[in-house]
Amino acid sequence: MRKVALTALAGTSIEWFDFFIYGTAAALVFPTAFFPEAMPEMVALIAAFGTFAVGFIARPVGGVVFGHFGDRVGRKAALVTALMIMGVATTLIGVLPTYATIGFAAPILLTLLRFAQGFAVGGQWGGAMLLVTENAPPNKRGFYGAFAQAGAPVGLILANLSFLTVLAIFSEAQFMAWGWRIPFLFSIVLIGISMYVQLHLEDTPAFLALQKQQAENEQEDLQGQAAIKKSRSPVLEVVRTHPREIILAAGAFFAVQVTFYILVAFVVAYGSSSAGLGLPRQMLLSAVLISSCVQIPTLFLSSAYSDRFGRRGIYMLGAVLGGIWAFALFPLMDTGEFLWIVIAISGGQLFLSMMYGPQAAFLAELFSTHVRYSGASLGYQLGAILGGAFAPIIATALWGTFGTIYVAIYIALASLITLVSVLMLTETHGTDLHER
């Protein structure tokens, strides 16, 4: 179980590293590297965040394709394929010519590769999450599920460390010219991890049991009397049988995504731009890095708590506290003091971890084995596109038009949607995944 958990953590960490370095580059580099110089700063920033959003638009597509693949062929095969696609796409971004070299072809190719990243993440999460939750003991499912969830903050830490290292080694001109490419090229490591998963890990007991039952049913030719029928499409099956759970799972994830991408992408742009606070990039990246370190233990503590006392209570508390904290975020940042900026971002990360930590077990327990990959992925990725895809763009537009107080209101409304969604879901703590 430890090998499975640590492998899932390693794979998701590098996968999210690849996904997050794009967000950091979109805030710091892409407005000037991949768009015309004549564009105003705010317009170029929104355009760069637009390509960032494409990755989220692709995530439900990846969730559908890999959900079908993972429910029919296996969790491991789907995960390995997703990791390979991400490794290749991110490496190619690292060698992509800029606007100055190939003109409008540059942002077009950048957008296509970002789509591939989103497609891969759309499939990766379900595979990694089920690899740990379906292998875990029932009384530790939340805790072990947090290993898949912890890949996000670990990936973010690696992403920010990589950019901070490059910024420290190279001059501003060197960084903007080619230094930013180094973190993208590092993602070739992901291809090696995917090969390790393929060669050293077995599929989950729940899926293997399902395969065995389906084979027995087919052999006995039970047809309509079969206890477990092999549907033509797990995706269509889960949409037909669990539409309410998919919608509410997306709503439960909404505040996590809105808050997270404002904390890790928008605040970097707001804090470093001349229209915002005009602070050094290194200061903001360091603050995000420290806040991610705060997030990791909170993920495991909240997940372990959910194993003992249930998923919904800790999840709803995180939504309430996150909505309240939104109104402290920007006043603390506006001090321009590093300590208060760290506290501002860390507070938000802490409260969203109370939701994100138990989420792997919570979503896995909502769906039956034969549609679990499809159902959990659809709920997760719909929440991602509705919440995370446009959060930096909406936050930038609200800030530019009305001020940061409306960004805080946006976070609070997202938290309210999540609170209501979780209230409408039943408690899943104690569910036997092998009987579903």
220 lies in some domain: no
Whether residue 196 is predicted with pLDDT greater than 80 in this model: the reply is no
**pLDDT tens, 7-63?**
778 778 877 787 778 777 877 777 777 777 767 767 777 777 777 778 778 878 887
**Does residue 315 belong to any structural domain of this protein?**
yes
**pLDDT tens digits, 317-342:** 999 999 999 999 999 999 999 999 99
Q: Higher model confidence: residue 215 or residue 349? A: 349
In the chain, pLDDT over 70 holds for what percent of residues?
89
Q: Give the structural domain span for 113.
A: 2-205+231-435
- CB proximity list for 294: less than 8 A, separation 6 or greater: 346, 349, 350
User: Is the residue at 372 inside a domain?
Assistant: yes
Residue 223 lies in a domain: no
CATH code at 61? 1.20.1250.20
Element (H, E) at 155: helix 141-169
In a domain, 210, yes or no: no
Residue 25 or residue 415, greater confidence: 415
Q: Which of 117-121, 248-252, 423-427 has the least mean pLDDT?
A: 117-121
State which of 1-15, 132-146, 396-410 shows the largest mean pLDDT.
Answer: 396-410
214 falls within a domain: no
**The total number of structural domains that make up the chain:** 1
Range scoring the smallest mean pLDDT among 148-157, 339-348, 400-409: 148-157
Give the integer Cα–Cα distance in Å for 427 and 436: 15
Residue 212 lies in a domain: no
Per-residue CA distances from 178 to 30, 98, 106, 122, 181 (Å): 12, 10, 15, 29, 6
> Does the pLDDT value for residue 228 go beyond 50?
no
Nearest to 343 by CA among 281, 263, 403: 263
- Residue 24 inside a domain? The answer is yes
When pLDDT is cut at 50, 70 and 90, the band that residue 78 belongs to is confident
